[in-house]
Amino acid sequence: MKKTTAIRVLTFNVFNVEGDPARQAAMRDGIAALQPDLVALQEIARTDEHDQLADLLSGTDLHGFHQNDLLDNPQRTSFEIALASRWKPSQIELAVLPGNKYDIGPRYAIGATIPLPGGPTLPFISAVTSWRLDAEADRLNQVHAIAQFEGKLRSDVPTILAGDFNAGPEADSIRYLTGQTTANGHSTCFHDAWTIAGDGGPGHTWTTRNPLAADLDLVIGQPGHARRIDYIFVGWRYGSPHSGGDTHYAACVRKCEVVFTNPPISDHYGVLATIEITG
């Protein structure tokens, strides 16, 4: 008999420790209230004086891993990433992504293989790509590297990939991830959770309507701008028990919503998806 497990997946760019210190408590309370099972976090600070990941996950039963946990000689950057899981991962790895000439320090994706209740193992990846408007060629190279990384982690449950990809759905980097174009002679395919089950509207996650996104006006320089750049992607079912494929589980997106909008608690809104794992 097939078994279905519903999991809640959150991605959120937390904007480091910028702004009002009260924002950190609001983010901690907001994450706890959503009760996610998997969390991808971007721009999350780790210094000798402050462990933002530990602060944000305090009071939850989530296992958190910052990219610096996996580095012998971590370098401080503005785009550090982390992930967290309700179930303790059996494996954690980093992938180095192609850089951008404007990057300060290396850029990574962090991936985990996570044993779910009942035995299946789910790969989960958190990532952030280059932010500059003129960096789409770099983003395309970066998502290609992420797809290669995913191929190494791939398991018996379709992979979940989440993060801040700094590009709209029409961009080549997102079209590559969703199977609509190629990169360096290669292709892949993930399902975009918002496209499948978004709760209405455009799903914008970075917008001038957010008073904490003051840097958007500086970057874009145009009024009333809004973009959907934060995503939860779900790998397709690579095979079936009857076709001889290597995946016997399906991951079906049932709901997707933009969160942390009222009041906003970062310069990005978050994205939360409910995904059913069946097999």
| Total structural domains within the chain | 1
Mean pLDDT of the residues in the chain: 92
Q: Percentage of residues in the chain with pLDDT exceeding 90?
A: 78
pLDDT exceeds cutoff 80 at 245: no
The CATH code of the domain that includes 265 is: 3.60.10.10
Check residue 104 and give its pLDDT. Answer: 78
Which domain does 45 fall in, by range? 4-278
Read off the pLDDT of residues 221-237 as tens digits, 9 standing for 90 and up.
Answer: 888 899 999 999 999 87
Band (119; pLDDT cuts 50, 70, 90): confident
Check residue 239 and give its pLDDT. Answer: 56
Q: Is the pTM of this model over 0.75?
A: yes
pLDDT exceeds cutoff 50 at 176: yes
Residue type, 220: I
The whole-angstrom separation of Cα 74 and Cα 57 is: 21
pLDDT exceeds cutoff 70 at 238: no
The whole-angstrom separation of Cα 262 and Cα 225 is: 18
For residues 102 and 78, the answer to whether their CB atoms sit within 8 Å is no
Mean pLDDT of 173-186: 96
Check residue 79 and give its pLDDT. Answer: 85
Check residue 243 and give its pLDDT. Answer: 45
- Which tokens belong to 269? 């809104």
